[in-house]
Structure 1
Amino acid sequence: MNFAIFARPVVTIYDLTETTKESDAGVVSTIGDEGLYGQVCQVRTAPGGVTAEGVTLPKEMAEVVSFYGYHGYVFASELQFCGEAELQSYLAAEWVMAGRATDVLTLPKVQGVRLLELERGALLRRLPEEAPHDGWALVRLVDGRTGYVRAVALEPVRWPMTAVFTQQAGRRFDEALALAEGCRPEELVPRALDRWYGGSEEAFRNALAEQAKRYLGTEYRWGGKSGRGIDCSGLVSSAYMQCGVLIYRDARLVEGWPMHEIPKEQVRRGDALYFPGHIALYLGEGRYIHSTGAAGSGGVVLNSLDPDDPLYREDLVKSLYAVGSLF
């Protein structure tokens, strides 16, 4: 089995081997997701190879499954391929996440040459320094180069990527991750809460809301998952990921990931709201945050379930069909 690291700031993951397709509305994109710099995936079929379904890939495209279980196709030029031992070593490094859009510079000063422009959610390996530079962190890039990032732009990486080694056809994602982490599937969420939030469900729920709100104003992008543009499920799944829990990437409840349906009247801050083809994160007091393609907003905004709230959206309230929770 082979693996790869996303080696561009934002890597498009397509749902088909073709990047566009015909629809009733005309030619549309087949983008399904985005991989962010430093994140990893399993390579199911190498460029030009034949998939398990008998499809011959274009020579420039690989079939991949992300560490959180999303299947798709990526241009090989945007990946750094590696073997299992190399990836194990890679993941064993000290990791930090870009907590905002940030530059990697050649020097620990603003006049340094820009090596890379990264989006929120990108991963970097932090390196020790004998003589640290105040306000800066020394990091290593995927290609081996080193550079500096403002320390204030970095956050801990709270999510595991180990399922990349254990995912296989027919195996549920939570079982794959639990196998890699050496625990039972039902222990995954409590372990994340214990590690990052002192076991507090309330602290976790609050963290989810705050992470999601950091994307306010970001433009809506179909299949997007970065500050350049993000879609509804990209927003919700990214907020959960950055808080340490991996949920299903798309806007529906799927067995094998930790989210499950609860009664609507039990909704609490941090739960997910499901509409046909759409998902939002509930913030409490009737309000929710979501990335919407609606013409009047076209991005990450706040709306409300309360008819008396000026942010009320009747069309969404009428179509709300489920509430999802980890608890």
Structure 2
Amino acid sequence: MPTPFDPRLTPANPRVAAAHLRGVVTAQNYVQGHEKMIAVPCADLLSAPHGRRERQLLLGERVTMYEERAGWAFVQADRDGYVGYLPFGQLEERRPATHWVINRASHLYNDPDFKSHELMSLSMGSQFRVIGESGRFYETPLGYVPKPHLAPLDRLARDPVEVAERYLGVPYLWGGNSIWGIDCSGLVQAACVACAIPCPGDSDLQEASLGRLLPEDKKLRRGDLLFWKGHVGLVAGRGMLLHANAYHMAVAFEPIDEAIARIKAQGDGPVTSRRRLPARKSAP
């Protein structure tokens, strides 16, 4: 299927394409799509049915579904425009969200009682519609979440590095976007999105679009990004890099100079660019 667009971000396959792509890509049908949202704690977004994981989507995240075929849904994520496949049963009808999980992790409970049985585990970034309060819990259509773990969607984080630090020790997972596993670009995306900084899902897309390029003679500061071919990390200050990496197999701090030397020595080349994120919005 010839297309001038990045296939990761183009809602089209040989059978179906988004209506706005008519005349641009070739498909049997062109559709408007249906608004859905993720109904499970963490869903793998795959390259094809039963294919490779490309990214992950969290509970409550919104997608547009363009096709349902043989139990698989072809979707595009609202968060970053990424497209892929996931089981249709992992979707439900979209409803407005009001709050998001700001804690590293939480649980959804059957009752507003810490001793009640948990219904599911939650990753930071999951979204809910709060419909009431009961003591120390918020009530949602799915169950109860501890109040300290939720905040209104418009309550933004101020510092991407502080957000990324909440993932310290999380296992490295290629294509991961949750506290159960995350990769380098997933960590940067989580940190940026929490601060209302639009951010693509992969490091090459981040390098092409995030913030502004820093000259080599410009001193690095906390929150800057270092890019390699296929890798990205956050400058944490004090000469340290914070990144999800396969060397530590986790989100970890590493001295910047040591990381640069190690990555070059292992055959992945030098730093390709240094970028500075835009100013963050203040939290209310």
TM-score bracket for this pair, using the shorter chain length: 0.7 to 0.9
Residue pair 2:188, 2:233 contacting (<8 A) in 1 also: yes
Aligned to 2:181: 229
Aligned to 1:301: 252
Aligned to 1:41: 63
**Structure 2 segments unaligned to the other structure (5+ residues):** 1-31, 279-284
Residue 269 (structure 1) aligned to one of 219, 222, 231 = 222
Residue pair 2:171, 2:251 contacting (<8 A) in 1 also: yes
Aligned-partner SS, 1:126: coil
Check if 1:123 corresponds to 2:127.
Answer: yes
Distance 2:156 2:183 in 1: 26
Distance 1:123 1:227 in 2: 15
Residue pair 2:98, 2:153 contacting (<8 A) in 1 also: no
Residue 76 (structure 1) aligned to one of 88, 92, 95 = 88
Distance 1:75 1:34 in 2: 13
Displacement of 1:255 after TM fit? 8.7
| Residue identity in the other structure for 1:14 | L
- RMSD of aligned alpha carbons: 2.2
Residue 321 (structure 1) aligned to one of 250, 272, 280 = 272
Residue 193 (structure 2) aligned to one of 241, 244, 247 = 241
Aligned to 2:236: 283
Aligned to 1:192: none
Residue pair 1:220, 1:293 contacting (<8 A) in 2 also: yes
| Residue identity in the other structure for 1:244 | A
CA change 1:136–1:79 in 2 (3 A) is same
| Residue identity in the other structure for 2:73 | A
Note the alpha carbon deviations across 1:124-165, whole angstroms, 9 max, x for none: 111234xx40x3222223xxxxx221111223324xxxxxxx
What TM-score do you get using the length of structure 2 for normalisation?
0.77
| Residue identity in the other structure for 2:244 | S
Distance 2:207 2:275 in 1: 12
Distance 2:64 2:207 in 1: 21
Residue pair 2:49, 2:72 contacting (<8 A) in 1 also: yes
CA change 1:243–1:319 in 2 (3 A) is same
CA change 1:234–1:112 in 2 (3 A) is same
Check if 1:154 corresponds to 2:150.
Answer: yes
Residue pair 2:100, 2:152 contacting (<8 A) in 1 also: yes
CA change 1:221–1:255 in 2 (3 A) is closer
Displacement of 1:305 after TM fit? 2.0
Distance 2:206 2:184 in 1: 16
Aligned-partner SS, 2:257: coil
Residue pair 1:95, 1:157 contacting (<8 A) in 2 also: yes
Say which is worse superposed, 101-110 or 269-278, in terms of deviation: 101-110
Displacement of 1:112 after TM fit? 1.3
Aligned to 1:106: 110
Higher strand share: 2
Displacement of 1:18 after TM fit? 4.0
Aligned to 2:16: none
Alignment size in residue pairs: 240
CA change 1:255–1:268 in 2 (3 A) is closer
Aligned to 2:202: 250
Percent identity over the alignment is 28
Displacement of 1:243 after TM fit? 1.5
Higher helix share: 1
Displacement of 1:289 after TM fit? 0.5
**Structure 1 segments unaligned to the other structure (5+ residues):** 20-29, 49-58, 142-146, 159-194, 198-203
Residue pair 2:130, 2:140 contacting (<8 A) in 1 also: yes
Note the alpha carbon deviations across 1:68-114, whole angstroms, 9 max, x for none: 2112111111111x4xxxx4xx22x5223252321111222122132
Check if 1:95 corresponds to 2:99.
Answer: yes
What TM-score do you get using the length of structure 1 for normalisation?
0.67
Residue pair 2:45, 2:84 contacting (<8 A) in 1 also: yes
Distance 2:192 2:211 in 1: 11
Residues 5-16 of structure 1: pairs in structure 2 closer than 5 A: 5-16=37-48
